[in-house]
């Protein structure tokens, strides 16, 4: 791997450099793709995408590959961060202006060599801020772009919520009522902050201990939570992140975000299995349930098992909380999905 002398890699090459380094670590480990997938708690298909440079892997997977292949963890961490920044930068870069279309030769009379035609104003080539700066000058614009991305995501969510309240009032359309909805759509009074509301359940409630889960965190204990919302059971639906507009997808062990138009239908549909008191198991179409691996990473597990990490709560702000950790499910613009203890863009989810 090559760097610019200060431990930072060129943004345009970072993703391919990361993929090349991961492939080198695979060869150095001496393991097959399937063996390496088990070692990193990934699926064969997800690991193939990581090694091909199609998706930037989560850091726990990258770290496991480094340990298995006996790589340099510090330099790999720098390269991984640059690869994630590169993907975010690509999404924020504006589309190039359409070129000026010249008239076809021969269209109209020949005016002779002395005739002059107005030439279009030349368009200055687009430049990317920071590419001509030194290492310190390069990092600051990138951090600014990432901050702008976060504020844009938060602003778009706020505008959407405001439009929904002005448009729907107390009677939202049916497609909104079918999914996880906000307080305005449920026509329930807003409870006081920190006071858990009394929620009617469509079926007898089961305690957290009966499902192998630790007690659910109270509404006041979860950041920003003001109560919980019951979501009606439904057929397989898509689960969209409000901060990115992408769909949650899963295979047998990996969970990731993907364009709703690109993902296979079976990979991106989910079924809410109500347990009472706004608690759910969230089952993927492959028959496995969404669960936490640790306080940061999510995965899929056998729904019939007793894993305490597969119990989730919808709150009244359409946020999804993992009961076992008390952290909320978050998606970012780099196609990553993970658990986060604080407020962050991408915490709002809807079923479509």
The two beta strands, 349-351 and 328-331, are unpaired
Instruction: Indicate if 79 and 200 belong to the same structural domain.
Output: no
Instruction: Indicate if 332 and 214 belong to the same structural domain.
Output: yes
Which among 44-58, 154-168, 188-202 has the top mean pLDDT? 44-58
- Residue 99 counted as domain residue: no
Residue 299 token pair = 């995965």
Residue 273 CA to residue 282 CA, distance in Å, equals 6
pLDDT band at 311 (very low <50, low <70, confident <90, very high): very high
Query: Could you tell me the CA-to-CA distances from 100 to 109, 110, 123, 125 in Å, in that order?
Result: 22, 22, 9, 14
Instruction: Indicate if 86 and 182 belong to the same structural domain.
Output: no
Instruction: Indicate if 322 and 180 belong to the same structural domain.
Output: yes
Instruction: Indicate if 85 and 189 belong to the same structural domain.
Output: no
Q: Where are the beta strands (DSSP E) in the chain?
A: 237-241, 247-250, 255-258, 269-276, 279-284, 288-292, 298-302, 312-314, 320-322, 328-331, 337-340, 349-351
- Residue 113 counted as domain residue: no
- Residue 109 counted as domain residue: no
- Residue 153 counted as domain residue: no
Number of structural domains in the chain: 2
Give the tens place of pLDDT for each residue, 196-245: 333 333 333 343 334 444 444 443 334 434 445 555 555 778 888 877 78
**Which of 71, 90, 109 is the last residue before a domain boundary?**
90
Residue 18 pLDDT exceeds 90? no
Among 219, 196, 222, 210, which residue's Cα sits nearest to residue 342? 222
Which among 154-163, 249-258, 338-347 has the top mean pLDDT? 249-258
**Which of 61, 90, 119 is the last residue before a domain boundary?**
90
Which residues fall within 8 angstroms of residue 28, CB to CB, at 6 or more apart?
Answer: 69, 70, 71
Compute the residue count for the chain: 352
Instruction: Indicate if 207 and 85 belong to the same structural domain.
Output: no
Range of the domain at 324: 168-351
The two beta strands, 237-241 and 328-331, are unpaired
Residue 281 pLDDT exceeds 60? yes
- Residue 3 counted as domain residue: no
This prediction has a pTM of: 0.39
Instruction: Indicate if 195 and 336 belong to the same structural domain.
Output: yes
Instruction: Indicate if 204 and 338 belong to the same structural domain.
Output: yes
CATH number of the domain that 35 lies in?
Answer: 1.10.260.40
- Residue 191 counted as domain residue: yes
Half-sphere exposure of 315 (CA within 13 A, CB side): 29
Give the tens place of pLDDT for each residue, 161-173: 555 444 444 444 4
**Which of 62, 90, 118 is the last residue before a domain boundary?**
90
Instruction: Indicate if 66 and 188 belong to the same structural domain.
Output: no
CATH number of the domain that 228 lies in?
Answer: 2.80.10.50
């Amino acid at each position: 791997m090559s760097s610019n002398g200060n431990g930072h890699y060129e943004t345009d090459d970072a993703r391919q450099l990361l993929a090349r380094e991961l492939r080198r670590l695979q060869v150095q480990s001496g393991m097959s793709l399937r063996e390496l997938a088990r070692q990193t708690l990934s699926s064969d298909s997800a690991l193939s995408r990581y090694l091909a440079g199609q998706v930037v892997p989560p850091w726990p997977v990258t770290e496991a590959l480094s340990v298995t292949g006996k790589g340099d963890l510090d330099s790999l961490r720098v390269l991984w961060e640059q690869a994630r920044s590169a993907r975010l930068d690509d999404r924020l870069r504006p589309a190039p202006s359409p070129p000026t279309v010249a008239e076809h030769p021969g269209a109209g009379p020949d005016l002779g060599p002395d005739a002059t035609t107005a030439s279009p104003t030349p368009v200055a080539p687009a430049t990317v801020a920071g590419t001509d700066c030194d290492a310190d000058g390069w990092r600051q614009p990138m951090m600014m772009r990432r901050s702008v991305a976060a504020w844009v995501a938060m602003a778009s969510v706020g505008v959407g919520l405001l439009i929904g309240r002005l448009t729907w009032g107390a009677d939202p359309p049916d497609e909104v009522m079918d999914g996880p909805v906000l307080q305005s759509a449920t026509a329930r009074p807003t409870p006081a902050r920190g006071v858990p509301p009394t929620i009617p359940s469509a079926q007898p409630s089961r305690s957290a201990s009966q499902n192998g889960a630790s007690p659910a965190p109270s509404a006041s204990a979860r950041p920003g939570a003001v109560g919980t919302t019951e979501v009606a059971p439904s057929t397989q639906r898509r689960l969209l992140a409000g901060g990115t507009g992408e769909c949650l997808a899963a295979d047998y062990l990996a969970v990731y975000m993907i364009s709703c138009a690109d993902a296979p239908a079976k990979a991106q549909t989910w079924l809410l299995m109500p347990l009472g008191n706004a608690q759910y198991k969230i089952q993927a179409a492959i028959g496995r349930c969404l669960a936490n691996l640790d306080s940061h990473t999510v995965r899929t597990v056998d729904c019939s098992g007793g894993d305490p990490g597969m119990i989730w709560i919808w709150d009244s702000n359409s946020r999804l909380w993992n009961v076992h950790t008390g952290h909320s499910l978050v998606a970012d613009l780099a196609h990553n999905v993970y658990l986060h203890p604080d407020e962050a863009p991408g915490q709002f989810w809807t079923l479509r």
